Amino acid sequence: MPQTIYLDHAATTPVAPEVLTAMLPYYTEMWGNPSSIHRAGRQAADGMDEARAQVAGLLNALPKEIVFTSGGTEADNLAIFGTAMTKADAGRHIITSAIEHHAVSHACEALRRRGWEITTLPVNGAGLVDPDDVRAAIRPDTVLVTIMHANNEVGVIQPIADIGAICREAGVWFHTDAVQTVGHIPTPVNELNVDMLSLSGHKLYGPKGVGALYVRRGVRLVPQIYGGGHERNLRSGTENVPGIVGLGAAAVLAQQEMVSEATRQAALRDKLLDGLVERIPDLFVTGHRTQRLPNNASIITKYIEGEAQLLRLDAVGIAASSGSACTSGSLDPSHVLLAMGIPVEFAHGSLRFTLGRGTTEAEIDYVLEQLPPIVEGLRAMSPFKPGADVCCGGLCASSDHSG
């Protein structure tokens, strides 16, 4: 298999050819400013209007409930800070989960430093939040619950509709980071009972640097970027018209392909997971086995490190990712895996394969052929064996990985 086998679609997806085709005229011909009155401006504004309707269509929302942003991170920040500012006099308590993306958890942390109280709910061993925990955590001063739809590392899909129903009953706004789900599984906002939902273009075969926040009619947010009053005053700044048009085209494509792709990818994912479990001893699947994204195969191989496996996979043309970030002397295992109760020494052995539209069965067969000898080779060199006192592959002396 000479070419790169790209199995890192949770990190980013390629721009679909149809999306690029839709975008190009907005660079070469219809490059006007959508705020301009003249024809060039109107053409750009029309392109944006169409894209807004297309994105709304994917969510079963109204076009005017879509606010375009620079991506998922900004959408998350607008939802969290926007709510906190709007509701500052009503209460300063926010509920979130222990497995959120940093775009949510760091935003909550910033609010905590400014005096807000943040309740961080645990997840069980399968990575699921218990809706009853949400109910129990809601207080009179709770103004927001923010819990992700599906996790980017282990792919676990949360019971968002149930959590949303609890929030609605309590009169608390509910935001979900759906960056990993929009375009991959159905995300009808009314059925999910959400007030706000974040999405990102580059996770659904659209361009990078564009995303959106769905804001339910009646939810008023304080803007976080001030200027000329674009996006109905919620997000000022001349719009990224080609990116927005691309996001719209990606939404249309996703609607056409979602069901068939989810079925196809889930079958390949299961083949990969079953095959790896069968071929490699001391390997386990992380996250709920069925309540997970159709394209997510995340695993832990005990006694060796994820990064070492990634480098060897890369050398044989396979692009995957690892849950743990190993940077400049600090070894921080994934907060998601730790929250799921996975021991720190095993969390270092995590690997994530995320499939996409281009993934073939031959590619999965190739991974099944390549990974077992890689694991065997690394284990042969590893001082850590079943029953041994395991830590960070010998790189760290204690189990305190905070530094």
Q: Give whichever of 43 and 198 is closer to ligand PLP, judged by the CB atom.
A: 198
CB-based contacts of 320, cutoff 8 Å, min separation 6 = 7, 8, 310, 313, 351, 352, 353
| 108, 326, 391, 392: the active-site residue | 326
To ligand PLP, the closest distance from the beta carbon of 150 in angstroms equals 8
To ligand PLP, the closest distance from the beta carbon of 10 in angstroms equals 6
326 is known as an active-site residue? yes
| Relative orientation angle of helices 361-381 and 241-279, to the nearest 10 degrees | 60
Q: Give whichever of 32 and 211 is closer to ligand PLP, judged by the CB atom.
A: 211
User: Cβ(107)–Cβ(116) under 8 Å?
Assistant: no
To ligand PLP, the closest distance from the beta carbon of 178 in angstroms equals 8
CB-based contacts of 200, cutoff 8 Å, min separation 6 = 71, 72, 75, 179, 182, 210, 211
To ligand PLP, the closest distance from the beta carbon of 271 in angstroms equals 24
* Site for ligand PLP, rule CB under 6 A: 71-73, 76, 101, 103, 148, 152, 177, 179-180, 200, 211
Which amino acid is present at 201? G
Burial of residue 14 (CB within 10 Å: 0-12, 13-18, 19+) is middle
To ligand PLP, the closest distance from the beta carbon of 72 in angstroms equals 3
User: Cβ(267)–Cβ(70) under 8 Å?
Assistant: no
Q: Give whichever of 32 and 71 is closer to ligand PLP, judged by the CB atom.
A: 71
Q: Give whichever of 336 and 378 is closer to ligand PLP, judged by the CB atom.
A: 336
Three-state SS at 114 = coil
Q: Which residue has the tokens 């730790």?
A: 338
Q: Give whichever of 71 and 164 is closer to ligand PLP, judged by the CB atom.
A: 71
Indicate which residues carry an active-site annotation: 326
